[in-house]
Amino acid sequence: MQLIHSVPELRARLANEKAVAFVPTMGNLHEGHIELVRIARQQGSCVVVSVFVNPLQFGPNEDFDKYPRTLDADCEKLRGLADVVFAPAVADMYPEQQTLFVEPPPIASELCGEFRPGHFRGMATVVLKLFNLAQPQVAIFGKKDYQQLAIIRQMVTQFNLPITIVGAETSRAADGLALSSRNQYLSLQERTEAAFLSQTLRGMGEALKKGAGDYLALEREAGAALAKRGWGVEYVSVRKQSDLGVPTKGDRKLVIVAAARLGKTRLIDNLDVCL
Ligand code: PAF
């Protein structure tokens, strides 16, 4: 496994690769990321993992400064799994001030986008830059970031990028909590409570499957149940899997998406529901 920091070195290393499978990350790798890398191994002959905490996708009051940076430990975890780890500095990714951006689709201002203005614009911009650098044939993203994945799929389609996007199932702890680097911000007590988010989504999923058709009522009930236990609920919403639009009666492929804060930690989760 080769650790590369600079753009010219990355380009030189990948110049003759014909089947790059790419996993973009912000590092602090957990089992969920490692699963993405295992999937990448099945998809390409050269597995590239990027580790870059992208300032462009963090709001002024978010956790950019405290986001855990653990490159040495990340490289240890990737040894034997990845061929290249690309870990650029901010100046490598943004050698001049970024004045051009990917303008994400309207869905980017709903759900997480409503609470994290500019997040998806910064995310899509860095992902496009990383795609241009790694020039992968396949890129793997976790379904935990459902809205991110939907926006990347649209970007790839609408910009005619010759990249197959693979969405990987969410890796979970034994109690159902979706794995996330941000879980480590949770206190012990919060960590126990955190499983309630996925439980809530599963409860909603069962209700939908039993025929509950008033999505707004379900969302309100779930939000109230979370709030009662001290969660700061941003949204709980039933959407269409295809484009995250609001479903109408005939839509059968649904996803429940949610974001809520436990103390200072913001958690997101989702559940696909096929009726
Ligand atoms: O999902 C993430 O970790 C980030 O949003 C990504 C895709 C690496 C872009 O910075």
With 90 as the cut, is the pLDDT of residue 195 above it? yes
3-class SS shares of the chain: helix, strand, coil, % to 5: 40, 20, 35
Q: For the CA atoms of the chain, what is the radius of gyration?
A: 19
Predicted local confidence at residue 99, as pLDDT:
98
Model confidence at 146: pLDDT above 90: yes
User: Is 155 a pocket residue for ligand 1 (Cβ < 6 Å)?
Assistant: no
Whether the pLDDT of residue 52 is over 90: the answer is yes
Residue 50 CA, closest ligand 1 atom number: 8
Phi-psi region of 211 (alpha: psi -120 to 50; beta: other; left: phi over 0): left
pLDDT band at 249 (very low <50, low <70, confident <90, very high): confident
Residue 238 has pLDDT above 90, yes or no: yes
Domains of the chain as residue ranges with CATH = 2-168 (3.40.50.620), 181-270 (3.30.1300.10)
pLDDT tens digits for range 53-89: 999 999 999 999 999 999 999 999 999 999 999 999 9
What pLDDT does 212 receive? 96
Q: 56 in ligand 1 pocket by Cβ < 6 Å?
A: no
**Phi, psi at residue 234, to the nearest 5°?**
-90, -55
Pocket test for ligand 1, best of 127, 147, 183 (most atoms within 8 A of CB): 127
Percentage of the chain surpassing pLDDT 90?
A: 100
Distance CA 139, CA 48 (A): 9
The preferred substitution site among 22, 23, 26, 49 for testing ligand 1, maximizing ligand atoms within 8 Å of CB, is: 26
Ligand 1: nearest atom to the Cα of 142: 1
Q: Which of 5, 30, 33, 119 is an active site residue?
A: 33
Residue 128 Cα to ligand 1 midpoint, Å, equals 11
> What is the reported pTM?
0.97
Q: Residue 96 has what DSSP assignment? A: S
| pLDDT reading at 171 higher than 90 | yes
89-105 pLDDT, tens digit per residue, is 999 999 999 999 999 99
CA of residue 3 to ligand 1 center, whole Å? 19
| CA separation for the pair 1, 24 (Å, rounded) | 16
The 10s digit of each residue's pLDDT in 196-206 is 999 999 999 99
User: Catalytic: 33?
Assistant: yes
